[in-house]
Amino acid sequence: MRTGRFLIVILMFTTPLWSQALYYLEQENRIENPHQQESKTILQKVWYAKDKMKTEDPQTVTIIRLDLNKIWILNPTEKTYMEMQLEDLEAMGQLALGMLGNTEDLKPVVTRTGKEKKYGQWKASELRIQMGPVTQRLWISREVDFPLDYYKQTLKAMPSLKQISQLLEKEVDGIPVYTESTMEIMGTRVSSSTELIKVERLPSLPGDFFDLPEGYTKILNPVQQIQPRMRGMQQK
């Protein structure tokens, strides 16, 4: 389902004239496809500032502007972009949660397992979150040179998992260096993982780095694509 690719996002931004701390991260995202024998791993690049963020992977560029309450999802190959607000992500999130079952039963439960492990150069401890058929395992480290408040701001750009993001904002006291998510949907197990592999503080970035680039054509976002279908179903 194409819409599902836009449910979870990450954030970033900065200008060379600002005094904000600027960061560049690299992480490996791995997706297990139950219909293929081999998993798919992609490298994601992320730039952070206080209230802005930008991510790049081989297919998509996402710019998150918390200061403008806007998210731009760009397709560099087709030169198209979708514009969304945080409220749109929340609407998508409620739709996705509805597919998992009764939303009243989806109350997240957090467990600190006491397990410790090292990922790359960082020692981390495990935090497990269970919410209905969704399980998340986060390995949290206090050794990462990255602002905790920057990470918690990214949670505002993930209202598609609002219950989990609110819990993380309260419970997490470090930076996730490895995250594994599994979900059962209609008898099919879907899993993904994200591993932090690089953190670098930057001296500056171009002033328009987090602006919407010129030459792109605006298209309907996933919420706008779904609304006509929903109205049609309601009229039947």
pLDDT in tens, 120-172: 999 999 999 988 788 999 999 999 999 999 888 877 766 555 667 777 888 88
If 0-12 CB within 10 Å is exposed, 13-18 middle and 19+ buried, where does residue 23 land? buried
pTM > 0.85: yes or no: no
Per-residue model confidence as pLDDT tens digits over 83-124: 998 877 766 666 666 665 555 566 788 999 999 999 999 999
Cα–Cα distances in Å, from 48 out to 16, 34, 114, 151? 13, 33, 30, 9
At residue 18, the pLDDT reads 38
Integer Cα distance of 200 and 22 in angstroms: 9
Q: Span 176-201, mean pLDDT?
A: 89
The domain locations on the chain are 2-235
Burial class (CB in 10 A: 0-12, 13-18, 19+), 71: buried
Is the pLDDT reported for residue 55 higher than 90?
yes
Name the 3-class secondary structure at 130.
Answer: strand
Instruction: For domain 2-235, say whether CATH 3.30.70.2190 is its number.
Output: no
